[in-house]
Structure 1
Amino acid sequence: MAEKLKIKLSIADRVYPLTIDPLQEEGLRKAAKNIEQLAKKFEQNYAVRDKQDVLAMCALQFASKIEQKGIDHSEGVKEAAERLKALNVLVSSKLGMK
């Protein structure tokens, strides 16, 4: 089992000390950077009362992207299944003619 790594991430002017698996470091740092960038964007473009509002909007933005990807994926799977069924019917009809 790998040793745990202690890191500090800064999000919305707060430092969060974490003890993580070394394989998680890159993903966590990228996630923190994305949150910081989005928070700055919200602060610049909208009237924001406090950091909690900014972080709530960031959470909503990221969560909605995840949900939309799930919806898009399920629709893509459904469409692929329908195409495979149609292809199966076509192949079956051609094989049945011989």
Structure 2
Amino acid sequence: MGKLKINIVIAGRTYPLSVNNTKEEEGMRKAANAINKLISMYEQNYAVSDKQDVLAMCALQFASKLEIKSLEKDSTNTEAIKKINELTNLVNTHLK
């Protein structure tokens, strides 16, 4: 199957893209919609005169959310590994 050609509009500009499948297309459209909603929110709530500033604020918000989730995941993984090690030690103690 060939690539699908789609147009995505962000901040009033159209960007032609190629995607591999309809799931990727849906993801791109949802992402563009989320960006456009965030742009509207920033424009309504803050005195911004330049789209570049609004887009930078959007990029920072989305990137920080990813980083926070990554940090939380790392913390959760560390805790899980610690518990597994404790349980392994407990089992080993009882097997000796």
Tell me if both proteins adopt one fold, taking TM over 0.5 as the criterion: yes
Q: Look at both structures and tell me which one has the larger radius of gyration over its CA atoms.
A: 1
Is 1:83 matched up with 2:87? no
- Report what 1:26 is aligned to: 26
Give 2:65's aligned residue.
65
Which SS does the other structure have where 1:56 is aligned? Answer: helix
Percent pairwise identity: 52
Q: Which residue of 1 aligns with 2:15?
A: 16
Alignment partner of 1:44 is 2:44: yes
Residue 48 of structure 1 aligns to a residue whose secondary structure is coil
- Which residue does the alignment assign to 2:2? 3
> Residue 53 of structure 1 corresponds to which residue in structure 2?
53
In structure 2, stretches of 5+ residues that fail to align are none
Extract structure 1 runs of 4+ deviating beyond 6 A.
none
Separation in structure 2 between the aligned mates of residue 41 and residue 70 of structure 1, nearest angstrom: 26
- SS of equivalent residue, structure 2 residue 49: coil
How far apart, in 2, do the equivalents of 1:63 and 1:73 lie?
A: 15
Q: CA deviation at 1:95?
A: 2.2
What's the Cα RMSD here? Answer: 1.1
SS at match of 2:7: strand
